[in-house]
Amino acid sequence: MVRTAVTPKTKTVFFNVPEDYVGREPEVIAFTKNKGLQTSAVAIKQVSFAALSIDTQGFKFNRDEANER
**Burial bucket for residue 69 (CB in 10 Å: 0-12, 13-18, 19+):** exposed
In terms of pTM, does the model score above 0.85? no
Mean pLDDT score across all residues of the chain: 82
**Share above pLDDT 70 across residues of the chain, in percent, rounded to a whole number:** 88
Inter-residue contact 18 to 2 (CB < 8 Å): yes
* Phi–psi pair at 68, nearest 5 degrees: -65, 145
